[in-house]
């Protein structure tokens, strides 16, 4: 799933070796159970039904509660999970899955193909209004063959078909007949994954407990705690004090504040280009931003390299589009826009903006060229980025205000409802380059992921064609054209792809950095008995 990031980046890419010398992992070899891990989370989860929310805080928790037929392995290749086997037939128009026997929901009921069929129908139901419905709506039919086997039929090849079945299965026996938008399940879920919800203290923490019935074997770490700390500086102090075991560092923290002997003794640091990008998105219903010349002028006036140098301390790369450098869909010739403020001023002049009253701010028809950038509380990188953009745009006569809002309200009351002039946010970059859910005009509805309300018929056609094209070379060229359209139209100012900079307490064993990052095998992490800090009561 594509999710909105509350923090600086996500842990999904190829890392360098951990820093800090020889880790404790070299001294222990036999995994044991026990202990607790404490994560820091800038925002609180809004809903633990993953089909109803797009924020990362919710998905980080929900990802540990549910299972799916398939998932990505360490090399970002599909592998079976709840499925025992699967096949793709008829040129990609038919999928056949056989689920493992004996997978139990946490209430003891067995997970079956009926749960998969129920999930499909639920997500497709217009009353659910899921931002992730499109993948499931592409399915012509889902047939339950027997208790553990089901077939999925498509009218034509669907490039994202395999990724659709990496999305979580929900329990039919619990949710059937309920109003999915009002069910208490959203805060008291029943899953079949490696962890179960133990407690939720609003505004403070969410605690998960290892599931003794998880089909792949009980996770070694007894408890996972997500502490809600809506400020990166406070989170860093808590990590340094040993009150958090894992956080994503800011570049300043990574480069200058975590190099002492205490950090080297107690933590491993990781560094790799993240699978995420940060952007400034324009509300296309705002009268200023309906003129492409204004959007292009703003993009040309922004110095992305300066932002990377100042905000990220060079721990990132300037961006021009929605794909990660080095991936197969990434355009080979496009470059981030060069900062050219004279050209930006000329474009604004063409659009009819002049400084008629001599106050330094351009205006048109008596209205000053002014807008507000909305971003989320707790993410100092985005706030600093917005501040730099404010300064850069002032140089060409644009007045910018900055408004910072608490994460849950930011998503619920502003982003989902399109109540903003411009918004600064980050998206994860998924393994498949299909970006239909974020960019297709059909998704430009309240609660949809196309919350900037951008609509472009050519882009729609390209996205539609790319997802039904089996030839990867042809598909690649379609996505190159997608990037050209976005570069020309500038509905977002794509700003940068940051490095992921996670830090983890050294007592945690089993961390094996790979192309998928470090969290892909979290259920295999463990802590040697002698290093465990928490003895938990069942």
Q: Which of these, 110, 164, 103, lies nearest to 132 by C-alpha position?
A: 164
Q: Are residues 372 and 489 in the same domain?
A: yes
Give residue-wise pLDDT tens across range 105-144: 999 999 999 999 999 999 999 999 999 999 999 999 999 9
Q: Are residues 347 and 455 in the same domain?
A: yes
Supply the mean pLDDT for the chain.
93
> Please, which pLDDT band fits residue 1 given cuts at 50, 70 and 90?
confident
Question: Per the domain annotation, does 83 fall within a domain?
Answer: yes
Question: Per the domain annotation, does 199 fall within a domain?
Answer: yes
Q: Are residues 253 and 297 in the same domain?
A: no
Q: Which of these, 310, 324, 318, lies nearest to 428 by C-alpha position?
A: 324
Report residue 372 CA to chain centroid gap: 24
Q: What backbone torsions phi and psi does residue 49 show, to the nearest 5 degrees?
A: -100, 105
Question: Per the domain annotation, does 538 fall within a domain?
Answer: no
Report whether pLDDT(431) > 90: no
- Provide the pLDDT for residue 41: 92
Give residue-wise pLDDT tens across range 204-233: 999 999 999 999 999 999 999 999 998 889
Least confident of 385-394, 406-415, 492-501: 406-415
Residues in the chain: 538
Say what percent of the chain tops pLDDT 70: 95
What is the Cα–Cα distance from 47 to 172, expressed in whole angstroms?
18
Give, in order, the Cα–Cα distances in Å from 496 to each of 12, 309, 318, 441, 513: 16, 11, 4, 24, 23
Question: Per the domain annotation, does 536 fall within a domain?
Answer: no
CATH number at residue 120: 3.90.76.10
Report the interhelical angle of 457-466 vs 472-489 (nearest 10°).
Answer: 160
Q: Are residues 377 and 430 in the same domain?
A: yes
Domain boundary pick from 115, 147, 175: 175
Q: If phi over 0 gives left and psi between -120 and 50 gives alpha, with beta otherwise, what is residue 127? A: alpha
CATH number at residue 416: 3.10.105.10
Report whether pLDDT(91) > 60: yes
Q: What backbone torsions phi and psi does residue 430 show, to the nearest 5 degrees?
A: -80, 165
Q: Are residues 492 and 505 in the same domain?
A: no
What is the Cα–Cα distance from 437 to 2, expressed in whole angstroms?
8
Q: Are residues 287 and 256 in the same domain?
A: no
Give residue-wise pLDDT tens across range 19-74: 443 344 445 679 999 999 999 998 899 999 999 998 889 999 999 999 999 999 99
Report whether pLDDT(491) > 80: yes
Q: Are residues 432 and 467 in the same domain?
A: yes
Helix (H) / strand (E) containing 261: helix 261-266
Q: Are residues 149 and 216 in the same domain?
A: no
Rounded to an integer, the average pLDDT of 371-396 is 96
What is the Cα–Cα distance from 163 to 27, expressed in whole angstroms?
39
What is the Cα–Cα distance from 163 to 180, expressed in whole angstroms?
23
Q: Are residues 507 and 491 in the same domain?
A: no
Question: Per the domain annotation, does 182 fall within a domain?
Answer: no
Domain boundary pick from 175, 208, 234: 175
- Enumerate the β-bridge partners of residue 294: none
Least confident of 161-165, 270-274, 477-481: 270-274
SS (H, E, C) 12-61: CCCCCCCECCCCHHHHCCCCCCCCEEEEEECCCCCCCCHHHCCEHHHHHH
Rounded to an integer, the average pLDDT of 356-366 is 95
> Please, which pLDDT band fits residue 4 given cuts at 50, 70 and 90?
low
Q: Are residues 400 and 493 in the same domain?
A: yes
Biggest alpha carbon–alpha carbon distance for the chain:
76
Within 316-469, residue ranges assigned H as helices are 341-350, 380-394, 407-409, 436-439, 457-466
Question: Per the domain annotation, does 146 fall within a domain?
Answer: yes
Give residue-wise pLDDT tens across range 318-341: 999 999 998 999 999 999 999 999
Q: What is the pTM of this model?
A: 0.86
What's the CA dihedral at 77, 79, 85, 87 to 10 degrees? Answer: -20
Question: Per the domain annotation, does 11 fall within a domain?
Answer: no
Give residue-wise pLDDT tens across range 180-201: 999 999 999 999 999 999 999 9
And the tokens for 187? 């805060």
Question: What is the tally of structural domains in the chain?
Answer: 3
The domain in which residue 390 lies consists of 276-499
Question: Per the domain annotation, does 9 fall within a domain?
Answer: no
Give residue-wise pLDDT tens across range 232-248: 899 999 999 999 999 99
Q: Are residues 217 and 147 in the same domain?
A: no
Report whether pLDDT(15) > 70: no
Q: Are residues 220 and 315 in the same domain?
A: no
- Provide the pLDDT for residue 16: 42
Give residue-wise pLDDT tens across range 394-423: 999 999 999 999 988 999 899 999 999 999
- Neighbouring CB atoms inside 10 A of 345's CB total 18
> Please, which pLDDT band fits residue 528 given cuts at 50, 70 and 90?
very high
Domain boundary pick from 175, 201, 233: 175
Give, in order, the Cα–Cα distances in Å from 243 to each of 36, 236, 501: 11, 10, 19
CATH number at residue 234: 3.40.190.10
Give residue-wise pLDDT tens across range 62-78: 999 999 999 999 988 99
> Please, which pLDDT band fits residue 6 given cuts at 50, 70 and 90?
low
């Amino acid at each position: 799933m594509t999710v909105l990031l509350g923090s600086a980046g996500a842990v999904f890419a190829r890392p360098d070796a951990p820093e800090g010398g020889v880790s404790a992992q070299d001294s222990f070899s036999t995994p044991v159970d026990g202990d607790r891990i404490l994560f820091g989370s800038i925002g609180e989860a809004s809903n633990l039904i993953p089909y109803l929310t797009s924020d990362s805080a919710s998905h980080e928790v929900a990802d540990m509660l549910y299972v799916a037929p398939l998932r990505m392995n360490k090399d970002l290749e599909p592998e079976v999970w709840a499925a025992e086997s699967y096949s793709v037939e008829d040129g990609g128009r038919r999928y056949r899955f056989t689920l493992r026997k004996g997978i139990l929901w946490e209430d003891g009921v067995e997970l079956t193909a009926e749960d998969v069929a129920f999930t499909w129908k639920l997500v497709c139901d217009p009353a659910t209004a899921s931002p992730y419905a499109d993948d499931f709506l592409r399915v012509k039919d889902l047939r339950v063959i027997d208790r553990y086997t089901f077939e999925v039929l498509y009218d034509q090849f669907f490039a994202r078909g395999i990724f659709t079945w990496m999305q979580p299965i929900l329990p039919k026996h619990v949710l059937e007949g309920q109003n999915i938008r009002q069910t208490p399940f959203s805060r008291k879920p029943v899953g079949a994954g490696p962890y179960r919800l133990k407690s939720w203290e609003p505004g403070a923490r969410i605690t998960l407990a290892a599931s003794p019935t998880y089909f792949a074997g009980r996770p070694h770490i007894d408890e996972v705690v997500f502490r809600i700390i809506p400020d990166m500086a406070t989170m860093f102090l808590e990590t340094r004090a040993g009150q958090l075991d894992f956080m994503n560092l800011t570049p300043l923290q990574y480069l200058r504040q975590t190099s002492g002997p205490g950090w080297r003794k107690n933590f491993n640091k990781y560094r790799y280009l993240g699978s995420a990008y940060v952007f400034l998105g324009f509300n296309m219903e705002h009268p200023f931003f309906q003129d492409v010349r204004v959007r292009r002028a703003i993009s040309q006036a922004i110095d992305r390299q300066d932002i990377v140098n100042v905000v990220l301390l060079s721990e990132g790369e300037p961006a021009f589009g929605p794909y990660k450098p080095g991936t197969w869909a990434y355009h080979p010739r496009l470059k981030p826009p060069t900062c050219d403020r004279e050209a930006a001023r000329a474009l604004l002049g063409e659009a009819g903006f002049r400084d008629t009253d001599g106050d330094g701010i351009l205006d048109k028809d008596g209205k000053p060229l002014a807008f507000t950038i909305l971003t989320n509380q707790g993410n100092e990188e985005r706030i600093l980025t917005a501040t730099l953009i404010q300064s850069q745009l002032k140089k060409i006569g644009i007045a910018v205000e900055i408004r910072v809002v608490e994460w849950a309200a930011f998503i619920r009351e502003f982003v989902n409802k399109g109540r903003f002039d411009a918004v600064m946010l980050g998206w994860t970059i998924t393994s498949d380059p299909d970006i239909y859910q974020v960019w297709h005009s059909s998704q430009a509805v309240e609660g949809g992921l196309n919350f900037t309300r951008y609509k472009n018929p050519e882009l729609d056609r390209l996205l539609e064609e790319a997802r039904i094209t089996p030839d990867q070379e042809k598909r690649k060229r379609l996505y190159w054209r997608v990037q050209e359209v976005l570069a020309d139209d500038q509905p977002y100012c794509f700003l940068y792809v940051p490095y992921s900079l996670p830090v983890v307490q050294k007592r945690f064993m089993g961390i094996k950095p790979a192309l998928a990052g470090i969290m892909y095998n979290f259920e295999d992490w463990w802590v040697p008995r002698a290093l465990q800090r928490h003895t938990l009561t069942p």
